[in-house]
A and B are shown apart, each in its own frame.
Chain A
Amino acid sequence: EAGVAQSPRYKIIEKRQSVAFWCNPISGHATLYWYQQILGQGPKLLIQFQNNGVVDDSQLPKDRFSAERLKGVDSTLKIQPAKLEDSAVYLCASSTGRVGGYTFGSGTRLTVV
């Protein structure tokens, strides 16, 4: 089966600019997650969707980050305006929603200069 697709793979922007990331999960996976992984750290959950509804966005900096999952399939994560500390890898993952492993994409490496 095809994996979790993410684009772009790399992005360099200046601070205060905006950026968007796209994710297409495993077909049939109802649950989609966005994680932020700063160099040397483990992934940190930003937002969790079940179909097209938000389950948990408690750790999403809502003043600058937004995410949507229209039609319950692919998803976009946006940052506006970006700060230097947003430099990280943004990972998208999906799962069936039952107990089991997550399938991750390769991530988007964001550098804010």
Chain B
Amino acid sequence: SQKIEQNSEALNIQEGKTATLTCNYTNYSPAYLQWYRQDPGRGPVFLLLIRENEKEKRKERLKVTFDTTLKQSLFHITASQPADSATYLCASPAGRRALTFGSGTRLQVQP
């Protein structure tokens, strides 16, 4: 069956470092992947979309890569700040269906 998976363990990094989060998918080939940020008690907020023919996408301190050979997307936050602490979700559609979400990775940036 189609799966989209994220490392469920929390990621703890020091302020100023680059955070790298991983999203892997199996048994399907999504046309695009999306990344969301979710703060406690709030709904997910859309950050970036990367299509299968794009290797990399950037937005301010955020960078997303999409490797269709490895079936993986990496999400980077450079010069991380304590305000970046949140849960980050990756998501993709399976065919024409609505987005399927990973379980999210909690990022904690220490000052």
Q: Which residues of A contact B (CB under 8 A)?
A: 4, 33, 35, 40-45, 48, 55-56, 91, 93, 99-107, 109
A selection of 25 A-B contacts at a CB cut-off of 8 Å is: A4-B43, A33-B98, A35-B101, A40-B8, A41-B103, A42-B91, A42-B103, A42-B104, A43-B44, A44-B101, A45-B100, A48-B98, A56-B97, A56-B98, A91-B43, A91-B44, A93-B43, A100-B46, A100-B49, A101-B34, A101-B36, A102-B44, A103-B46, A105-B43, A106-B41
Give the number of chain B interface residues (Cβ < 8 Å). Answer: 24
- Interface on B for A, CB 8 Å cutoff? 6, 8, 31-32, 34, 36, 41-47, 49, 89, 91, 97-104
Residue from B41, B44, B98 in contact with A104 in the complex, judged by beta carbons closer than 8 Å: B44
| Interface pair B103/A107, CB less than 8 Å apart | no
B43: chain A residues at CB < 8 Å are: 4, 91, 93, 104-107
Contacts of A55 in B (CB 8 A): 98
Residues in B with CB closer than 8 Å to A101 are 34, 36, 46-47, 49
Partner of A43, one of B6, B32, B34, B101: B101
A106 to chain B, nearest CB (A): 5
Residues on B with C-beta less than 8 A from A105 are 43
In the bound assembly, the distance between CA atoms of A41 and B97 in angstroms comes to 20
In the complex, the answer to whether A102 meets B32 with C-beta atoms within 8 Å is no
In the complex, which residues of chain B have a beta carbon less than 8 angstroms from the beta carbon of A99? 31-32, 49
Complex Cα spacing A43 to B32, Å: 18
Given contacts A102-B46, A104-B43, A106-B41, contact A42 B102 (CB under 8 A): yes
Q: Which residues of B contact A48 (CB under 8 A)?
A: 97-98
Closest partner residue, chain B, to A92 (CB atom):
B43
